[in-house]
Structure 1
Amino acid sequence: MENVSVGTLFTLSGLNHTVEHRVTLFSLTLLCYLIIWIVNVILILTIIVDRSLHEPMYIFLCNLCINGLYGTAGFYPKFLMDLLSPSHVISYAGCLLQSFVIHSSTGGDISILALMAYDRYVAICRPLMYHSVMTKRRVSLLVFFSWLLPLYCMFINTIAISQYKLCGSHIHKLYCSNWLIGKLACSNSIASSAIAYFNMLFYFGHIVFIVWSYIYLIRTCVKSQKNRGKFMQTCVPHLISLFIYSIVVLFDVMYMRFGSRDFSQSLQNFIAIEFLLIPPVMNPLIYGLKLTKIRNRIFGFTQDKRKDGQCLDKADQRR
């Protein structure tokens, strides 16, 4: 079927009931986006600059923060422009691109969290094999595929969605998603549905692997006081991040597919963006405060800056 929807402008309806509060929403959204950038960039630079943090666990964490910035870049700039614009529209290509970025970032989060679970499993359950398993080459390959696979899966899904002939242009959300674009199709495609369900099963496999690895981790840590300390120090932040991520994504997916339109527009909007707001802020804060090496490095850098400032002040006074 010939695609006749390339020139379509999609209308995003999520902001239709917030006209009176645009300035306030714009200020709060800009503040949130700045906080996301600040906390993530601080953690990323800390890991890059400090060579003692060039270990698999911190490398995976660095990529988790980079992926968070990548995913939020697909939403916040467009959302901020919509808050200042009387019309909330997006081009066909722009809609596919936004959906691709947001969904591939979501898949990237699952992949990186699975790598972090694997790293902790080897470190605690197979400590003698850790350095032979988590070599620099293997870590590089794992990071490469944790980015490649989500991008490839979503690229194939986006290509399949782009073949639809659309019979509508109204999206009931603040941003585009493949599921909602597919609902505008004049007819369903078996190939596209198969790709979508394959992607879901693929990432469900990641979740099964994470659960399996933590079952072994908990069994191992129960038997050893030393391992219990490692678990509390390095695994608890990961579990908190995984729990937060799972809850917010599950809320969005379940509401998008089965939710009621009887909810207020504000509640619908919050459910839609919570996975683009909570994990990108909480992940660097949780790891930055809980992991001793990162916390000491950040606080040490701050103290060094203060000491340098005091030395300069004293030098100025002597002059």
Structure 2
Amino acid sequence: MSTRTHASRRLAVAAAAALVLGLGATACGSGGSSSAAGGSANSAGSTAATGSATGSVPKAHGSVTVFAAASLKETFTDLGKKFEAANPGTKVTFNFGGSSALAASINSGAPADVFAAASPATMKTVTDAGGAGGEPRTFVKNALTIAVPKGNPKHIAGLKDLTASGVKVALCAKEVPCGAAAQTALKAAGLDLTPVTLEQDVKGALTKVELGEVDASLVYRTDVRSDAAKIDGVDFPEADKAVNDYPIAALAKAPNKDGAAAFVAYIQSPEAKQVLTAAGFQAP
């Protein structure tokens, strides 16, 4: 083979190698550019996710009106003051009462920002009517006890003693959460009890004992604890079958939507939970 032929072959091989290297470099450059674009997209996505995950609770301002179950009166009054202190310029106004009556008021158009009920059933009457601005959240639970005058003069030891002759008992009305829970507990014990009075909220049933008008009433443990100077509580096993969940929700027609969202978030905060559990409420 001639020297010229060898030289031609060497030139062809070199040209092919150069072409391969050039294509490889182009491919690498194209891949690098695609990777950078992907990096930018990923970075933007990460930033958006971080922003969403760390989004702050709307700042509270102005007046916040809270409709809350009567059994929350002491704790929510305290928490309302703490909320105002943490959000200068806010004013929390409470309307405490039987959950069913509060729900009916909300559904009738009463202006309110937040609803805290003593049972999911009463909250459902509001959500079914489209009154909730978001998914209700259970923030505490509460169980029943037997409230008796200080010293327990009738020596009541359990639910069965409430059916004894001469024992006068106050219950909450059946449509009220504490009344529904009482009926569940009595059914679990296989007892039929005829009260001398039916009250529209748990504070009404408790007051009957305070005034000496009845010998006992079925109320929440938190109510007895808040009135320990005048009332004793008698726990009974059937209470475990009638524990009420307490849901809270900002309302769809809340005049102060930011304030409503901030208050609902605060009630679920560690600080608020500490106040609620110290009062005898159970963690959800």
Which bin holds the TM-score, normalised by the shorter protein?
under 0.3
TM-score, length of structure 1 as denominator length: 0.23
Higher relative strand content = 2
TM-score when normalising by structure 2: 0.26
The structure with the larger Rg is 2
Higher helix share: 1
